[in-house]
Amino acid sequence: MQAVTMDPAEEPPSILWGLDPVFSAFARLYVRDILQMTESTQVPGVYFYNLHPIYKVDVLGTVVYKREREDFFCYGVDDGTGVINCLCWKSDLLKEGEDPGKSMGKHSSEAQGGFNPVAELKKLKQAQQNRCRLDIGELLRVRGPVKTSRQQREIMASTYYKVNDPVMAVQIAWMMEVPQLYRECYDKPLQLQPSAMGDSAVSTISKATNLIKGFLKHKSVTRFRPYDVQDLLQPLISSQPQTASEDQEPVAGPSACQQLRQLLKKVLESLQYEGIIYRRVKSQDEVYHVTTQDKDLLLAVKDIIREDSKREKYAEKGCHILHILSAVRQRHSLNVSKAALELVLKSLECNSDIVSTADNHYTMF
């Protein structure tokens, strides 16, 4: 399946996604709709169903295929509308290795009152294995974010377990709840412009964000302070109509200076969320670094990938993005977000400094 991206003109601004309650919930969508959702052009990993921003889902279905690796299971889940691959990471109890009872020592065998911690630990491990090791035909409940890997849509499970449903009570309840969610929520057009903000406020934030983006790009800005770009937004404040209806008393609102500061604050929050800027050190001196123009950050990421790719653990596939992010936060700045790192990796890859060997894995040439 080829990934489909949303038309930027139709996509709602990312700063407003949190106004939709679906964005913060595990959406109970049919597998068919998960596979057909369009991906955001603003933030990779976020998808849209009926303009509802979605990045994590909740699925119940039958296992139709399975694969097991050292660290994870791959289950194909069929809910009757389609089949989706679910990547389910193993817990420590499931990984092969030393019997956990051996490390308990001799004291376990001398337990008082007939309680044997070694036997109880084995029972716990067996119960965990029974819930997480599924066979074809068994019922699986899985929750997690949606990802696109090698042009295939899949679920990276944060929670998964086998559902014991001998009389199909769970499945019947699910089949009754999901259509109701579609009718009352998912199939209703999204309205992200609440009366408190209005169309003009949304348009102003979008214009202001694009204005600052263009300034940073064309001027090749490496770092700046808020007052360096504040004047760029002044025309947007001046052009906002300050009128009241004839039958209303004039109401004292925020001054132009206050409006300007509020608008700038929202724009900076949006740019940080997208990873375009970040604060290397959070102090009273409010300095923002432009992510892809920060040579120190680019050099730190290159050094981490160069050094760790030589290690046996990362020699074959390269360094995973989460490993790189952890190392960058230790060596460079705790305030580097995953979105910012993704922009850095994309820039380095475009310059042929690094290469992606697999989904979210990077190494040096």
Q: What confidence tens digit (pLDDT) does each residue in 56-115 have?
A: 999 999 999 999 888 888 999 999 999 999 998 887 656 554 444 444 444 444 445 577
Name all domains of the chain by residue range, CATH numbers in brackets.
Answer: 14-95+119-186 (2.40.50.140), 292-364 (1.10.10.10)
| pLDDT confidence band for 258 (50 / 70 / 90) | confident
295: left (phi over 0), alpha (psi -120 to 50) or beta: alpha
Per cent of the chain over pLDDT 70 is: 83
Tell the burial category of 322 from Cβ atoms under 10 Å away from its Cβ (0-12, 13-18, 19+).
exposed
Could you tell me which of 22, 86, 9, 15 has the C-alpha nearest to residue 54? 22
| pLDDT confidence band for 192 (50 / 70 / 90) | low
At residue 116, the pLDDT reads 84
Q: What is the mean pLDDT of the chain?
A: 83
List, in sequence order, every residue forming a beta bridge with 89; answer none if it has no partner: 72
What is the distance between the alpha carbons of residues 8 and 42, in angstroms, rounded to a whole number?
A: 8
pLDDT > 70? residue 268: yes
At residue 100, the pLDDT reads 44
At residue 245, the pLDDT reads 46
Mean pLDDT in residue range 44-63: 93
What would the pLDDT profile of 335-345 be if each residue is shown by its tens digit?
Answer: 999 999 999 99
The better pLDDT of the pair 336, 12 is held by 336
